[in-house]
């Protein structure tokens, strides 16, 4: 998703948004402390495996989910919720041009 | 092009009000264009307006952003414009960031990325914003790369044209850089400028190059509002087909004044009413308009000195017809007082209302206020601008009634402070004179092109019902000095019949 989002807003822009979201999510979820965001790396989010080992599946998933919600909310505040939703929909790995209803559902989820 | 040949170059509408007219009908399809100008000159807004007007799901627009303004911020600001349809973002309008390729400094990589995106998306329009950023970085690595900026531009143009794409490169270029290779390759070059003069900012557009079309020459002022860019084409008067007015007489609504001007204002003429403050210029102008409205005509009043509400309140106090007629769509009051106005903008607003209402009468109240409303740079050539304004309006067949304030001199006769009497067909002057220790208002007709008119100077009163003309002052000499002398009744004036002295 981060790589796809970078197509729209650039690697730096995308990283700035994710970093802010992670920073805020980290305050609530200790499981994110070992997770790092690697700009220009093939794998953008690193340390998830170690976090799962240390904090467990649920805690790590909750932390990442909070971070992604943060990305969505931050983008919404910056460019408007409707456009942010469009950008995220286009960036989701499963999104295809032929399935707008599916995209909407997955974005809402 | 021969008549039987099919049209090869289709002109596409830009969606920017006024721009198609400046371009000579629209933008040539598949053209490779450069939009140049300084920071804040409106390049990005212009490009967005064009893509949102033309992009479709079948032929999307690809907007490449480079370094410079971050994409998020650009979207944040651009979405404020009414033309920005967020529903189109992601489908018909797609944004692609090229900063990674540009930072690598390899122009081949930039070109490859653009071409691969074009191949995948199949856009109808491509924008690169800012192209200068690519060129600027390429300048520093040109020696390292075999692909210089010139070759890059040429290959980009060829690729985009091959994919049947209409493209725009946006860049911060100065006027000294018009020999830049980008200008050579481009089919069209739009130059945007903004100049600050005292407290006003004037934006101008020039089409410095347009292959395949015949653009309007010169500088065209434009304004950026919540609806985006609006261009006010510089309209040379001679390009308009003049309507032949019927030469009928139009009543001024003031019985005595109609007599003085030989039966009324000649339809299609430009009338100038000049006088000092408080002499009743606006009252007479309003009476002229009301006379037309009562006759079933439509009209437009352009006010420059006061707010329309104030103007309306005063006018309604004398005659409720004004308010009723506005509600009925027979009259429009245009307020033009921004202090950075261009003549073309004023002309556009007035002409638009004239066409909308099919107006027969136009009142401009006043030229003095109009001059002040103009940006300082346009005040310098006010006479020429006014000549175009009046010429263009009268060419449509409307009768134009203008007021102008003159400073009371008491020792001379001034027709207008603006020295623009040459543009008018009819001139009526007002002034104050002192008679028996009191200021009296008088008026006279100075000029009636192609018609007889009275040469007498008549007093008039401003009443609740408007202007009411009084008698003449033939028993006085030296009226234009402001201090008339009662003539000895025993001495007739030259050419005066003896009976006149008895009146």
Q: Which pLDDT band holds residue B412 (cuts at 50, 70, 90)?
A: low
CB contact under 8 A, B100 and A11: yes
| Chain B positions in Cβ-Cβ contact with residue A17 (cut-off 8 Å) | 72
CB contact under 8 A, A79 and B70: no
Interface ipTM: 0.74
Helix residue ranges, H only, B28-170: 43-54, 71-78, 99-103, 107-121, 131-141, 149-162
Question: Å from B105 to nearest chain A CA?
Answer: 16
Q: What is the mean pLDDT of residues B409-434?
A: 72
Structure tokens at B94: 């797609």
Per-residue pLDDT at B433 exceeds 90 = no
Highest mean pLDDT among A12-26, B57-71, B173-187, B234-248: A12-26
Answer whether B72 sits within 8 Å of A79, measured CB to CB: yes
- CB count in 10 Å sphere of residue B454: 16
| Structure letter (DSSP) for residue B79 | T
Which range (A89-93, B99-103, B202-206) has the least confidence? A89-93
Average pLDDT over residues B149-168: 90
Predicted TM-score of the model (pTM): 0.77
pLDDT value at residue B371? 85
Among candidates B24, B74, B22, which has minimal Cα distance to B51?
B74
- pLDDT tens per residue, range A26-76: 999 999 999 999 988 888 899 999 999 999 999 999 999 999 999 999 999
CB-based burial, B63-94: b 16+ in 10 Å, e otherwise: bbbbbbbbbbebbeebbebebbebebbbbbbb
Nearest by CB to residue B89, choosing from A78, A86, A97, is A86
Could A13 and B90 be called an inter-chain contact, meaning their C-beta atoms sit closer than 8 Å? no
pLDDT tens figures, B287-316: 999 999 999 999 999 998 778 888 888 887
Which residues does chain B have within 8 Å of residue A78's beta carbon, measured at their own beta carbons?
72-73, 75-76
Structural contact between residues B173 and B38, judged by C-beta atoms closer than 8 angstroms:
no
Inspect the interface and report whether the beta carbons of A82 and B90 lie closer than 8 Å.
no
What count of CB pairs under 8 Å joins A to B? 58
Q: Which residue has the higher pLDDT, B97 or A91?
A: B97
Shortest CA gap A8–chain B (Å): 5
Residue B5: other Cβ atoms inside 10 A: 7
Contact state of B97 with A82 under an 8 Å Cβ cutoff: no
Would you state the pLDDT for residue B246?
66
Q: Assess whether pLDDT exceeds 70 at residue B379.
A: yes
> Model confidence at B189, in pLDDT bands (50, 70, 90)?
very high
* Site from B72, B113, B114 to mutate, A interface, most A CB atoms within 10 angstroms: B72
- With tokens 């990305």, the residue in question is A71
Q: Is the minimum CB–CB distance between A8 and chain B shorter than 8 Å?
A: yes
Q: Which of A5, A9, A86 to mutate to test the interface with B (most CBs of B within 10 A)?
A: A9
Per-residue pLDDT of B260-287, as tens digits, reads 999 999 999 999 999 998 899 999 999 9
Q: What is the pLDDT of residue B46?
A: 97
pLDDT digits (tens, 9 = 90+) for A89-108: 887 776 444 444 443 334 34
Nearest by CB: A8 against B71, B76, B87: B71
Measure Cα distances from B501 to B99, B230, B394, B458, B491 in Å. Answer: 92, 63, 42, 16, 9
Residues 9-48 of chain A with CB under 8 A from chain B are: 9-13, 17, 40
Contact between A29 and A63 (Cβ < 8 Å) = yes
Residue B103: pLDDT band (50, 70, 90) is confident
Whether B87 sits inside 8 A of A9 (CB atoms) is no
Any idea which residue has 């598949």 for tokens?
B30
List phi, psi (to 5°) of B452: -70, 150
């Amino acid at each position: 998703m981060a790589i796809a989002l970078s197509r729209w807003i650039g690697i730096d822009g995308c990283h700035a948004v994710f970093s802010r979201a992670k920073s805020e999510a980290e305050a609530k979820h200790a499981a994110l402390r070992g997770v790092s965001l690697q700009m220009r790396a093939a794998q953008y989010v690193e340390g998830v495996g170690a976090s799962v080992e240390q904090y467990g599946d649920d805690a790590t998933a909750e932390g990442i989910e909070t971070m992604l919600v943060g990305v969505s909310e931050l983008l919404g505040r910056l460019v408007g919720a409707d456009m942010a939703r469009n950008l995220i929909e286009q960036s989701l790995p499963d999104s295809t041009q032929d399935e707008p209803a599916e995209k909407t559902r997955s974005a809402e989820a | 092009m021969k008549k039987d040949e099919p049209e090869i170059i289709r002109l596409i509408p830009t969606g920017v009000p006024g721009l198609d007219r400046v371009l000579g009908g629209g933008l040539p399809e598949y053209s490779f264009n450069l939009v140049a100008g300084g920071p804040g000159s409106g390049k990005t807004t212009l490009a967005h307006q064009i893509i949102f007007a033309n992009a479709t799901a079948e032929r999307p627009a690809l907007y490449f952003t480079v370094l410079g303004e971050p994409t998020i911020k650009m979207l944040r600001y651009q979405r404020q414009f009414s033309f920005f349809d967020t529903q189109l973002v992601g489908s018909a309008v797609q944004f692609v960031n090229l900063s990674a390729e540009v930072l690598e400094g390899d122009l081949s990589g930039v070109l490859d990325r653009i071409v691969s995106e074009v191949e995948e998306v199949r856009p109808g329009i491509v924008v690169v914003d800012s192209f200068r950023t690519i060129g600027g970085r390429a300048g520093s690595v040109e020696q390292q790369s075999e692909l210089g900026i010139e070759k890059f531009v040429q290959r980009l143009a060829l690729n985009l044209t091959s994919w049947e794409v209409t493209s725009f490169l946006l860049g911060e270029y100065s006027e000294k850089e018009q020999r830049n290779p980008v200008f050579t390759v481009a089919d069209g070059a739009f130059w945007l400028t903004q100049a600050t003069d005292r407290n006003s900012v004037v934006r101008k557009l020039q089409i410095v190059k347009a292959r395949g079309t015949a653009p309007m020459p010169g500088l065209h002022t434009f304004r950026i509002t919540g609806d985006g860019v609006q261009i006010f084409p510089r309209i040379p008067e001679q390009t308009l087909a003049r309507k032949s007015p019927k030469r009928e007489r139009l009543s001024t609504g003031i019985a005595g004044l109609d007599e003085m001007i030989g039966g009324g204002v000649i339809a299609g003429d430009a009338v100038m009413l000049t006088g000092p403050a408080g002499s009743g210029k606006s009252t007479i102008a309003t009476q002229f308009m009301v006379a037309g409205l009562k006759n079933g005509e439509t009209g437009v009043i352009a006010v420059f000195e006061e707010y329309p509400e104030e103007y309306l309140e005063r006018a309604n106090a004398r005659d409720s017809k004004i308010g009723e007629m506005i509600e009925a769509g027979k009259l429009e009051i245009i307020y033009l007082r921004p202090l950075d106005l261009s003549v073309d903008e004023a002309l556009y607003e007035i002409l638009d209302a004239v066409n909308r209402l099919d107006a027969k009468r136009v009142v401009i109240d006043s030229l003095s206020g109009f001059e002040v409303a103009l940006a300082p740079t346009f005040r310098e050539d006010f006479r020429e601008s006014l000549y175009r304004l009046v010429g263009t309006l009268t060419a449509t067949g409307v009768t134009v009634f203008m007021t102008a304030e003159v400073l009371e001199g008491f020792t001379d006769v001034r027709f207008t402070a603006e020295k623009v009497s040459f543009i008018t067909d009819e001139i009526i002057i007002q002034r104050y004179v002192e008679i028996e220790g009191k200021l009296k208002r008088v008026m006279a007709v100075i000029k009636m092109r192609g018609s007889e008119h009275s040469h007498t100077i008549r007093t008039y009163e401003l009443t609740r019902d408007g202007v009411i003309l009084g008698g003449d002052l033939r028993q006085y000499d030296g009226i234009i000095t402001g201090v008339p002398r009662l003539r000895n009744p025993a001495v007739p004036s030259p050419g005066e019949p003896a009976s006149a002295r008895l009146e």
